[in-house]
Amino acid sequence: MRENRSAAFSVTPEESFELTAAQQGVWYGQLVDPDSPKYNIGECLEIRGGLDEDLFAAAVDRAVYLHDSFHLQFVTDGETIRQRVVRSGPDAPSRLHRVDLSGEEAPTAAAERYMADDMATVDRLDSPRHHFALLRLSPTLHFWYIRYHHIAVDGLSGALFARTVADLYTRAVRGENTDDITAAPLRDLVDEEAAYRASGRTEADRAYWTGRFTTPAGDASDDGTRA
């Protein structure tokens, strides 16, 4: 399956901000190989025991709404790629696909096929949609499956998202208020990286790590072993 598309938009500087170095690498890497799903990040969390599926769906949707990474549009500004956060309203249709596999002869195998098929999808590059699914294998066993595009989400931000969902769901089950649960703006991270690159720490760190690993990985050491 292929959804990969790129687009050019007119955008004001106030609306957009730079990509991180890692995002730029993913952008150009995907353009070079547009039909490849290599930048998909898949995650499956097993949930055992009773689960209120409606409350869980609400928690996922609220967490998606809070995290900038799930609302990115990538735009061209001359020769530069920039990004902006474009949110739908909080009452937009649920992003969570709820799939009942409990009637399958082998629910676990069916879930694995579902995830494998979805991981072959090439998400659209200019505005990744990602994929969120709650797979019901039995009344007491669910798989929460997520496919991210790496231009928007990495391992750390994926873990932070999962924690947000867990916090929202737990509080909802307990009947507690969730208004204080927030997510840091992505632009803060981008600005922090830009400040680092403009500081003297960049060259100092480069010099340290260059000296620390003077022998390339894989080169033989003096005693004949691999470095």
Average pLDDT rounded to a whole number, residues 45-63? 98
Does the pTM surpass 0.75? The reply is yes
The residue with greater pLDDT, 7 or 181, is 181
Rounded to a whole number of angstroms, the CA Rg of the chain reads 21
Residue 217: inside a domain? no
Q: Reduced to 3 states, what is the DSSP secondary structure of residue 107?
A: helix
Residue 9 placed within a domain:
no
The pLDDT of residue 43: 97
Side-chain half-sphere exposure of 105, counting CA atoms within 13 A: 0
Q: Is the pLDDT of residue 33 over 70?
A: yes
> Is 150 domain-assigned?
yes
In a domain, 225, yes or no: no
Phi/psi-derived region of residue 120, left when phi > 0, alpha when psi is between -120 and 50, beta in every other case = alpha
Residue range 73-103, pLDDT digits in tens: 999 877 889 999 999 876 789 999 999 999 9
Q: Answer yes or no: is 6 within a domain.
A: no
Here the CATH number for the domain that contains residue 159 is 3.30.559.10
Answer yes or no: is pLDDT of 5 > 60: no
- Count structural domains, the chain: 1
Residue 34 maps to a domain: yes
Residue 58: which domain range? 17-212
Does the pLDDT of residue 223 top 90, yes or no? no
187 domain residue, yes or no: yes
Give the pLDDT score at 198. 87
Interatomic CA distance for residues 67 and 19, integer angstroms: 16
Give percent of the chain with pLDDT exceeding 90: 72
Type of residue numbered 149: H
Q: What is the pLDDT of residues 129-184, one digit of tens each?
A: 999 999 999 999 999 999 999 999 999 999 999 999 999 999 999 999 999 999 99
DSSP 88: P
Quick check: is 219 in a domain?
A: no
Residue 3 has pLDDT above 50, yes or no: no
